[in-house]
Amino acid sequence: MAILPADEKLIDVVAIENRDEKLVYQRPVSLTDVYTHYCPGCTHGIAHRLVAEVIDEMGLREDTILVASVGCSVFAYNYFELDACEAAHGRAPAMATGVKRVHPDKIVFTYQGDGDLASIGMGEIIHAAARGEKFTTIFINNAVYGMTGGQMAPTSLPGQVTTSSPFGRDLALCGAPIRIAELLSNLDGTAYSVRRSLHDARHIIQAKKAIRTAFEAQVQGLGFSIVELLSTCPTNWGMTASESMEWVKDEMIPVYPLGDYKVAPELATRR
């Protein structure tokens, strides 16, 4: 049983030290001990945890720098126990370039949503990948602008109703969804570009493996690495948490097929 004291830290009121239990699961050291502002059913929390677990397991926490972006994950630096900065909308890949060029021996990653990365920041992400910048991008694709309240994103599905496409996304008017993992896989500077999903336990485990491989690519200095994560936004989709998981599986994956779009030969054994 957990209670919420004034300092907003979780305290387990059951004295665990006297019980014959083996610790098998705990907060990663790379996550701070605070509540997040994310909505119930949102997969940001899962994505944060997976990244933090990978950083912990690889022993990189004290050498990692986060570049947060604009969107719902704008406060990611409050949730990761890492050195971090907050970029302007879409500019995280440029800012990460600056950080990584100054500290080539550190691990640098951006954490960006689809409005940030695939719309206003398209130029920055394409050129960072093309230069083979040796940082990692965690790309959250939930087919909508979350923070501003559910507007159409470049990744919104055909016909998807959003606050700025009230009649459904019209492909003749707005074009078709952009598939980032495929797009960036075409650039020589990209060492690793894959798409995973966070809609169920099996896919979450696969997503974590991909995040690990992406960080391995950076440690090995192979080039730019990105993991696109199909994610939920129950609040802006107008769904329950479980409905939104189903929507990812039934509606998003057909438009955004899961898979490995580019894997540098040095990483192939890790697949």
Interface residues with other proteins (CB under 8 A) are 61-65, 67-68, 74-75, 77-78, 80-88, 91, 94-99, 101-103, 106, 123-124, 127
Contact 264, 71 (CB under 8 A): no
* In the complex, minimum distance from the CB of residue 120 to other proteins, in angstroms, rounded to a whole number: 10
Of the candidates 96, 32, 45, 94, the one whose C-alpha atom is nearest the C-alpha of residue 73 is: 45
Cα separation, 234 vs 8, whole angstroms: 25
* In the complex, minimum distance from the CB of residue 205 to other proteins, in angstroms, rounded to a whole number: 28
- 238: its two tokens: 């107008």
> What is the DSSP annotation of 3-30?
E--TT---EE-S-GGGS---------TT
Give the three-state DSSP class for 44: helix
- 97: its two tokens: 């370039």
* In the complex, minimum distance from the CB of residue 25 to other proteins, in angstroms, rounded to a whole number: 23
Beta carbon nearer to other proteins, 64 or 190: 64
Beta carbon nearer to other proteins, 92 or 226: 92
* In the complex, minimum distance from the CB of residue 70 to other proteins, in angstroms, rounded to a whole number: 9
User: Which one-letter amino acid corresponds to residue 71?
Assistant: G
Cα separation, 92 vs 97, whole angstroms: 8
Contact 136, 109 (CB under 8 A): yes
Beta carbon nearer to other proteins, 77 or 215: 77
* In the complex, minimum distance from the CB of residue 110 to other proteins, in angstroms, rounded to a whole number: 10
Beta carbon nearer to other proteins, 104 or 166: 104
Distances (CA, A) of 99 to 93, 122, 147, 218: 10, 19, 26, 14
Beta carbon nearer to other proteins, 81 or 114: 81
Quick one: which H or E segment has residue 141? strand 136-141
* In the complex, minimum distance from the CB of residue 89 to other proteins, in angstroms, rounded to a whole number: 9
* In the complex, minimum distance from the CB of residue 11 to other proteins, in angstroms, rounded to a whole number: 21
Cα separation, 60 vs 52, whole angstroms: 10
CA distance between the termini of the chain: 39
